[in-house]
């Protein structure tokens, strides 16, 4: 089973995404912010897909992505990151550019509320 890391500060989203991904034969792991997500990603080397909320306390998506980029081991791993946000795609992309975040990991930017069928279909590609 493919391990998917879900990073979001909303417990309801973590619960719903976990249930849906379990039904689609994924093995979800959850984190309430980017800092915890980074710890989980480091511990579970088999994680290849990440659902990442943008706006979170302690460490947001930008901090998480910069940490992955700056880590000698993590930056070499194959990762597919799906940004999940209530923000505007153009603003997020602009901030990625300003923060010098490498887009090589970003597979898609999905607007909340996310169509769960579309989400699972994207993860299965």
Model confidence over 27-78: pLDDT tens digits?
999 999 999 999 999 999 999 999 999 999 999 999 999 999 999 999 889 9
The Cα 5–Cα 1 span in angstroms is: 13
Give SS3 for 35.
Answer: helix
CATH topology for 2-124 is Rossmann fold (3.40.50)
Closest CA to 61 of 110, 3, 121: 110
β-bridge mates for residue 85, sequence order: 111
24 — pLDDT class (breaks 50, 70, 90): very high
Mean of all residue pLDDT scores within the chain: 94
Tokens at 94, concatenated: 């602009």
pLDDT of residue 7: 98
The residue ranges of every structural domain in the chain are: 2-124
Helix axes 34-43, 61-70, angle to 10 degrees: 30
- Is the pLDDT reported for residue 122 higher than 90? no
pLDDT of residue 114: 92
Lowest mean per-residue pLDDT among 4-18, 32-46, 81-95: 81-95
Q: Which residues are CB-contacts of 85 (< 8 A; sequence separation ≥ 6)?
A: 53, 54, 55, 61, 92, 109, 110, 111, 112
């Amino acid at each position: 089973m493919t391990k998917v890391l879900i990073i979001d500060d909303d417990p309801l989203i973590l619960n719903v995404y976990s249930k849906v991904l379990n039904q689609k034969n994924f093995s979800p792991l959850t984190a309430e912010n980017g800092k915890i997500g980074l710890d989980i990603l480091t511990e579970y080397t088999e994680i290849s897909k990440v659902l990442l909320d943008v706006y979170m306390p302690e460490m947001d998506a930008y901090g998480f992505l910069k940490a992955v980029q700056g880590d000698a081991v993590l930056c070499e791993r194959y990762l597919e990151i799906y940004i999940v946000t209530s923000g505007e795609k153009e603003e997020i992309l602009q901030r990625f550019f300003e923060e010098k975040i490498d887009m090589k990991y970003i597979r898609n930017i999905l607007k909340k509320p996310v169509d769960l069928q579309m989400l699972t279909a994207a993860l299965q590609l």
